[in-house]
Chains A and B, each alone.
Chain A
């Protein structure tokens, strides 16, 4: 497929191999989404974000190195990238931690695939 200019590039950072794999498939199945990089920890996520400058980074909150640290670094080093949290934890501390580093979209793992896809598009559209 040719990379049309209106396709959204996405980075996935999650330490769970099963989640990485299926999330990649769910997003790739959408005509307007491109998964350009997949990372298993915070450092790798930052490194790949700097290399690919994705439109959206989807980060697990509790991956090694910390989702909040990765989010802050990605926003610093790739300011155009919008960050979205994807977490098994919905407690207010985890949510606040991500909010403080500029994450606007916080998605609880377990929501329907269509919600995840919609959230990615919504995240990309924020200024």
Chain B
């Protein structure tokens, strides 16, 4: 890449080659990490045009949690010290969505060994990752726990529905019959008893729904979410917008993950955001489901990965859920401007071995 020593025609050929490689983002950084050149693959993969990105620091391609952990700088340091640095991880497109990237950073030095910058080659590995990804030990354990928890919740929900609720419904019907055969005073007492039983049936029905919405197992993610918004969000005095734009219903495992994260995010909106409206959007993207839950509430003081608040508000749980299913999760927020939980999960089953 020491283009300064190249004959002119070879330089032109090389430019053509770089421009035509649409599957690879190939670009140069100055020694400080600012973008100096850009090819068509970079534009295609990352979504920025050359004009938009030239001169900007390459950390804009990294997720906030990686920036907070100092990963961009460490990549350059390693490349400068060892000549080369290779990494795999999430990178962020211009529109905020992520792709799984293989990245190689190479230090570019002139004849005297002075660092002139870095060459960076990025490949979009999302598709291969979806197909091949195997969870590490911790991921397997978490996935197993989440699965066991969902199984248990489903079992309890079914028991409540098929046994407890039905028995209590029968008791209520019996009490009404009894009341119709009793004199006034006694009839009233029995009817009050019936009201109590009915109210309990209503509460049990809600409990069973929260434990495991029955529609989730049968391709009903959009219906279930819409029902949840109607039932929980609107009764909390919030208005909502629901924008489902899915090419197809995801498999049950994906549907449960999406629903649980939305449930947690909406609980936060309801309890902590002091918002007046919330917007939930679902879209098919990158062979998965891309979701945003945004409110107009008070916002968080710590945006990005929310690391300083990870212990609160179920943020860890939301992120873990997205990550063990092979996806990503992010919180955008600033004080007074509301919060948006954004995540993506693949609509394929991860391998468990």
Q: Does B149 reach chain A (CB closer than 8 Å)?
A: no
Complex Cα gap A124–B180 (Å): 25
Separation in Å of the B154 CB from the closest CB of chain A? 13
Asked if A19 and B177 make an inter-chain contact with CB atoms under 8 angstroms apart, the answer reads no
Chain B residues within 8 Å of A110, by CB: 165, 169, 172, 198, 201-202, 205
Q: Does A92 reach chain B (CB closer than 8 Å)?
A: yes
Separation in Å of the B46 CB from the closest CB of chain A? 40
Asked if B215 and A113 make an inter-chain contact with CB atoms under 8 angstroms apart, the answer reads no
Pick the residue among B180, B202, B214, B224 that contacts A89 (CB under 8 A).
B214
Complex Cα gap A4–B95 (Å): 73
User: Binary interface profile of A, 106-127, with partner B (CB < 8 Å = 1, else 0)?
Assistant: 0001101100100000000000
Complex Cα gap A93–B216 (Å): 9
Q: Does A88 reach chain B (CB closer than 8 Å)?
A: yes
Asked if B220 and A16 make an inter-chain contact with CB atoms under 8 angstroms apart, the answer reads no
Q: Does A23 reach chain B (CB closer than 8 Å)?
A: yes
A:1-34 near B, CB below 8 Å: 16, 18-19, 21-23, 25-26, 29
- Which residue of chain A is the closest to B166 with respect to CB atoms? A16
Asked if A91 and B166 make an inter-chain contact with CB atoms under 8 angstroms apart, the answer reads no
Sorting the interface of chain B by its residue count into under 10, 10 to 19, 20 to 34 or 35 or more gives 20 to 34
Complex Cα gap A109–B202 (Å): 10
Of residues A22, A88, A94, A109, which shows the largest number of chain B Cβ atoms within 10 Å of its Cβ? A88
Complex Cα gap A23–B169 (Å): 10
Separation in Å of the B202 CB from the closest CB of chain A? 7
Separation in Å of the B158 CB from the closest CB of chain A? 9
Chain A residues within 8 Å of B224, by CB: 91
Pick the residue among A18, A19, A23, A93 that contacts B214 (CB under 8 A).
A93
Sorting the interface of chain A by its residue count into under 10, 10 to 19, 20 to 34 or 35 or more gives 20 to 34
Q: Does A62 reach chain B (CB closer than 8 Å)?
A: yes
Chain A residues within 8 Å of B205, by CB: 88, 90, 110
B:185-201 near A, CB below 8 Å: 198, 201
User: Binary interface profile of B, 199-213, with partner A (CB < 8 Å = 1, else 0)?
Assistant: 001100100000001
Q: Tell me what chain A mostly uses at the interface: helix, strand, loop, or mixed.
A: helix
Complex Cα gap A86–B214 (Å): 16
Asked if B169 and A88 make an inter-chain contact with CB atoms under 8 angstroms apart, the answer reads yes
Q: Does B162 reach chain A (CB closer than 8 Å)?
A: yes
Chain A residues within 8 Å of B227, by CB: 91-92
- Which residue of chain A is the closest to B218 with respect to CB atoms? A93
Q: Does B176 reach chain A (CB closer than 8 Å)?
A: yes
Asked if B215 and A92 make an inter-chain contact with CB atoms under 8 angstroms apart, the answer reads yes
Complex Cα gap A116–B174 (Å): 13
Asked if B223 and A109 make an inter-chain contact with CB atoms under 8 angstroms apart, the answer reads no
Complex Cα gap A33–B218 (Å): 36
B:163-187 near A, CB below 8 Å: 165-167, 169-174, 176-177, 180
If A88-B169, A91-B220, A110-B172 touch, whether A25 touches B214 (CB-CB below 8 Å) is no
Chain B residues with a Cβ under 8 A of chain A: 161-162, 165-167, 169-174, 176-177, 180, 198, 201-202, 205, 213-215, 218-220, 223-224, 227
**Can you sample 22 A-B contacts with CB below 8 Å?**
A16-B170, A19-B166, A19-B170, A21-B170, A22-B173, A22-B174, A29-B180, A88-B161, A88-B165, A88-B166, A88-B205, A89-B161, A90-B205, A91-B223, A91-B227, A92-B215, A92-B220, A92-B227, A94-B214, A109-B165, A110-B169, A110-B172
Chain A residues with a Cβ under 8 A of chain B: 16, 18-19, 21-23, 25-26, 29, 62, 88-94, 109-110, 112-113, 116
**Which 9 residue pairs of A and B lie closest in terms of their CB atoms, listed nearest first?**
A18-B170, A91-B215, A22-B173, A91-B214, A109-B169, A113-B176, A16-B166, A92-B223, A93-B215
